[in-house]
Amino acid sequence: MVTVYDVDPDKFLKELAERLKKENIKPPEWANWVKTGIHREKGPVNDDWWYLRLASVFRKIYIKGPIGTSRLSAEYGGKVDRGTKPYHAWKGSRSIVRKCLQQLESLGYVEKNRKGRVVSSKGRSYLDKLAEEIIKKGS
């Protein structure tokens, strides 16, 4: 059986983002002006960055779940230039992660657990079927 682990992450995320775009999901109205973290100077340039982040969060929950918003935001963090002082690691935007989780929960792909968020059985089968289609398409 083919799973998410067997597929190239770049191909998988692009295809998943396109599929999530066709679902009944809209980016929040503030998504055009937001930075993705304190470590960034500017916001994303890609117009469809929200769907790619949504797909990435979905995949990370599949691989690393159960996982909470704080640990997920740390996955999207980076280093901050503090002038003459040494660089420090900073977390990414927790608001973006929270909104992504809420949207995935509304679709039924992710559910809450005592230890964080986990992929539901519906979400697991959705991702595994997509991975199988990508493998078949590549052959």
Give the list of residues 6+ apart from residue 41 with CB closer than 8 angstroms, or none. 35
Nearest to 76 by CA among 59, 91, 89, 87: 91
Confidence of residue 41 (pLDDT cuts 50, 70, 90): confident
> Mean pLDDT over residues 2-16, rounded?
91
Distance CA 88, CA 71 (A): 17
In angstroms, the CA 93 to CA 87 distance is 18
Model-level pTM greater than 0.85? Answer: yes
Percent of the chain beyond pLDDT 70? 99
Q: What angle do CA 133, 68, 93 make, to 5 degrees?
A: 90
Q: Which domains does the chain have, with CATH numbers?
A: 4-138 (1.10.10.10)
Instruction: Write out the two tokens for 27.
Output: 């980016």
Q: Which residue's entry shows tokens 């595994």?
A: 128
Euclidean distance between CA atoms 13 and 62, whole angstroms: 13
| Beta bridge partner(s), residue 79 | 89
If DSSP codes are grouped into helix, strand and coil, which group holds residue 64? helix
